[in-house]
């Protein structure tokens, strides 16, 4: 799985990319993340990438030239043209189903905006898929791009061990239930014990307890998940 991140702030990604699970996946050749600085495609001696909006208004917009030319230069670097995502709070909201679909693409290009966003002609010319990670406003697309990489990478075969397989995750395909509570040692901490059934060795009883706990917490916290239909379908 190859990710190409196009951003004005590639440094934001360095700590994240050096972190355990992702670093391991990169070292094992399962994942490749290429960072590209949009400013490298800026023209003129000041390498400007942003300017004020025509018609007035607050903030600065990323000019079409650097963004469009960056994508046009990076896209042919691999045989797979991949899926081009533009990160914006105006995009389609990311969910587990979208992450699963993206994990099949082989390659994802992530175009990160800062300031007040991109000149409209970036979208008109590149026709990217516009993606949001939720209904709140971030200062830029970088944290959203990391979120997408993080959600997708753990679905790439081989990235997670068998032990931590993603198939039973709360939101894996068709699974619209939260996970049950879990306990580890010590058996007592500050006067709080562990449900007796989990210490019983009775595996049918343990499975039944976990199912009930998962159902109860889903009802209490996320009743919206229990409707008979996925609202994204």
Minimum distance from residue 50 beta carbon to ligand 6GU (Å): 15
Cα Rg of the chain, angstroms: 22
Q: Does 144 bind ligand 6GU (CB under 6 A)?
A: yes
**Is 153 annotated as contributing to ligand binding?**
no
Cβ proximity to ligand 6GU: between 30 and 138 the closer is 138
Annotated catalytic residue 186: no
- Interface residue with ligand 6GU among 140, 175, 198, 217 (CB under 6 A) is 140
Q: What are phi and psi of 59, to 5 degrees?
A: 80, -175
89 binding ligand 6GU? (CB under 6 A): yes
Contact between 178 and 170 under an 8 Å Cβ cutoff? The reply is yes
CA distance 62 to 92: 21
Is 134 a known ligand-binding residue? yes
Alpha-carbon span 111 to 118, nearest angstrom: 10
Q: Which stretch binds ligand 6GU (CB under 6 A): 9-17, 127-135, 177-185, 211-219?
A: 127-135
C-beta closer to ligand 6GU: residue 92 or 187? 92
38 annotated binding-site participant:
no
Comparing CA positions, the residue from 95, 121, 99, 118 lying closest to residue 108 is 99
Both tokens of residue 193? Answer: 């014990």
Q: Is 66 in the site for ligand 6GU (CB under 6 A)?
A: no
Listed residue (33, 219, 176) closest to 109, CA to CA: 33
> Where on the chain is the footprint of ligand 6GU (CB under 6 A)?
87-89, 132-134, 136-138, 140-141, 144
């Amino acid at each position: 799985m190859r990710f190409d991140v196009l951003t004005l702030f590639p440094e934001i990604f360095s700590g994240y990319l050096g972190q355990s699970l992702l670093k391991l996946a990169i070292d094992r050749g399962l994942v490749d993340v290429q960072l590209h600085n949009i400013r490298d495609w800026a023209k003129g001696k000041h390498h400007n990438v942003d300017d004020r909006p025509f018609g007035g208004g607050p903030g600065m917009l990323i000019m079409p030239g650097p963004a469009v030319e960056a994508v046009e230069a990076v896209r042919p670097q691999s045989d797979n043209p991949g899926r081009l995502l533009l990160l914006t709070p105006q995009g389609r909201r990311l969910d587990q189903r979208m992450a699963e679909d993206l994990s099949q693409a082989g390659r994802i290009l992530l175009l990160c905006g800062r300031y007040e966003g991109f000149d409209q002609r970036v979208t008109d010319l590149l026709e990217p898929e516009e993606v949001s990670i939720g209904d709140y406003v971030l200062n830029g697309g970088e944290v959203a791009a990391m979120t997408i990489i993080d959600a997708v990478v753990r679905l790439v075969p081989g990235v997670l061990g068998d032990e931590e397989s993603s198939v039973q995750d709360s939101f894996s395909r068709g699974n619209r239930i939260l996970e049950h509570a879990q306990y580890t040692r010590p058996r007592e901490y500050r006067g709080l014990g562990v449900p007796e059934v989990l210490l019983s060795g009775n595996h049918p009883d343990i499975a039944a307890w976990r199912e009930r706990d998962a159902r109860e917490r889903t009802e209490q916290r996320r009743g919206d998940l229990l409707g008979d239909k996925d609202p994204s379908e």
